[in-house]
Chains A and B, each alone.
Chain A
Amino acid sequence: MSGSLWYQQAVALWRKDLRAELRTRVALGSMGVFALASLMLIALSMLSLKDEVFVDALGHSHLAWDNPAKMALLWVLFCFAAFAGLSHSFVHEESTGTAQNLRLFMSAHAVYAGKLFFNFTVLGAIMLVITPIYMLLTGMQVGGIMVFVPIMVWGGMSLAAVATTVAALASRAHTSGALFGAIGLPMLIVLLVLIMQAAKLCYSAHIDTISIVKDTGGLLSYGILIITLSALSFHFVWED
């Protein structure tokens, strides 16, 4: 009867959640439908902007509906999709009473790690499906692939981290659904600003080291700091 390590427990929780999710499809379904519907909405409402041109202070003219703008709206879409489905992971455990069993069997670190990776998996699946469709409909380009892919992966990870932490906090209160959006969005706005700043790199012609460090550094450190602080303080939320 040897105890298992925390990462083995986290993997077990991830597998359990994935199995249950594939059977019920609560999170995937709600996020998928939400994302597809808002994708259509964005694509339709931006039709009129397609040929709009604005002139900046220096006299250069730009397309208003350009690649960075398209990227920004794509991330707005992901943020709302994440908030439509990712709270399920914790709220479901608390409301059905299975959380007590997890507290008995698992350490808090393992629970946080397992839930974080499960949320990242679900969000990643949604992003993999939605991004190509969005690019087809709006004509968004990848730009520099070496910048685009890391930004998508790390942005998704940071988004999952914020959603996981906020879901854990909200699930302990009775009015969890309403609270989840309200306390999470201020944290997401900052993340969105950083992602958009980093995403400009994909489409800029001259990429130098300084701008890479300046523009992606914020996004990178934001995710790392959120995950670290959440992991350190998670057991205060989880345990009684």
Chain B
Amino acid sequence: MATLHSPVVNKEDNQKISTERLTPQTAYHVPLWKALTGLIMSYVIVGAFFIAHGAIGFAEKGVAARIIFFHVPCAVLSSIAYFVGFFYAARYLLKLKSEKIKPFLDDYRSAAAMELGFLFCLLATITGSIFAGVQWGSFWNWDPRETSIVVMLLLYASYLLLRAANSLKPELRARLSAVYAVVALVPAQFLIWAVPRILATMHPTTTLTDPRMTSLSYKMVLYPAFIAFVLLFIWLMQLRVRMMMLWEQHRHNAQQTMETDYR
């Protein structure tokens, strides 16, 4: 029988849990794309220091600029993560409305994306601040992109705070945080697109959009770096969702044991 507060309610998800997600995977059975993630990431780490030439016009003969292979993918992911979180939050609400089921899996996915968004946002802020310290002489300049990423960080933090405040009621928590994710899409959009454009910025805006601005050795590392980070994001998100489901399963089992003990 389906139960409300077990992680999933519909049959299809239930099967997924029992067959795919909860079976411990053996070391011999690494999916191809995960191996690929490891390979590309290793290539990026090596390439950042040995393939790419020092960037022209940057501090420390361009050596410091090597941090952008990690800073830029993190910054991009911190924006993408919000869209992923928003997508699953909206899907959660739509399913709740139309099918009258409790699609907890979407709630977990949304929460996992937001947590990773927070993580990558933090990494982008730290790496950016280090680079700013070397390049511009000060670790914090109130550049519009710096401002917007800090507010973005606050936005992620308040989402997580809202979840933490309602952790005792999983169903209410899922609804409230989904609504917050949907409504906060508006400030998130302004932070990602509008704020860096309406205020004057020191960040280069054409590095990614104009291929002529970067040399071949940079492209050879930067583009794989994007692929590696996106794959890493998917991998981490999968792990986090699986962890949340196991945790919920554990909580549910504990409750059931308690119920039978008192009977």
Judged by CB atoms under 8 Å, the answer to whether A and B touch is yes
Q: Is the beta-carbon distance between A169 and B151 smaller than 8 angstroms?
A: no
Within 8 A of B (CB), among A211-237: 214-215, 218, 222, 225-226, 229-230, 232-234, 236-237
State the CA gap A30–B32 with chains docked (Å): 61
State the CA gap A173–B182 with chains docked (Å): 18
Cβ of A60 to closest chain B Cβ, rounded Å: 16
Interface string of B149-191 (1 = CB under 8 A from A): 0010011011101100110000010011011101111110011
Chain A positions within 8 Å of B184 at CB level: 186-187
| 7 A/B residue pairs, CB under 8 Å, sorted by A | A179-B165, A186-B154, A190-B187, A190-B195, A222-B187, A225-B186, A229-B183
B72 within 8 A of partner (CB): no
Chain B positions within 8 Å of A184 at CB level: 158
Chain A positions within 8 Å of B166 at CB level: 172-173
Q: Is the beta-carbon distance between A236 and B183 smaller than 8 angstroms?
A: no
Within 8 A of B (CB), among A36-60: none
How many CB-defined contacts (below 8 Å) exist between A and B? 87
Q: Is the beta-carbon distance between B154 and A233 smaller than 8 angstroms?
A: no
State the CA gap A160–B44 with chains docked (Å): 48
State the CA gap A169–B184 with chains docked (Å): 12
Which of A174, A218, A229, A234 is within 8 Å of B194, CB to CB? A218
B1 within 8 A of partner (CB): no
A183 within 8 A of partner (CB): yes
Chain A positions within 8 Å of B172 at CB level: 172
Cβ of A135 to closest chain B Cβ, rounded Å: 26
The chain B residue with its CB closest to the CB of A184 is: B158
Chain A positions within 8 Å of B175 at CB level: 236-237
**Chain B residue total in the interface (Cβ 8 A):** 31
Pairs A-B, 3 closest by C-beta atoms? A190-B187, A183-B158, A186-B154
Q: Is the beta-carbon distance between A175 and B165 smaller than 8 angstroms?
A: yes
Q: Which B residues fall within an 8 A CB radius of A?
A: 93, 96, 147, 151, 154-155, 157-159, 161-162, 165-166, 172, 175-176, 178-180, 182-187, 190-191, 194-195, 198-199
Q: Is the beta-carbon distance between A236 and B96 smaller than 8 angstroms?
A: yes
Known: A172-B172, A233-B182. A190 touches B191 (CB 8 A): yes
Known: A174-B165, A190-B190, A237-B175. A214 touches B96 (CB 8 A): no
Q: Is the beta-carbon distance between B165 and A186 smaller than 8 angstroms?
A: no
Chain B positions within 8 Å of A175 at CB level: 165
A64 within 8 A of partner (CB): no
A165 within 8 A of partner (CB): yes
Most A C-beta atoms less than 10 A away, residue of B151, B172, B178: B151
State the CA gap A169–B183 with chains docked (Å): 11
Q: Is the beta-carbon distance between B93 and A233 smaller than 8 angstroms?
A: yes
Cβ of B83 to closest chain A Cβ, rounded Å: 15
State the CA gap A193–B199 with chains docked (Å): 10
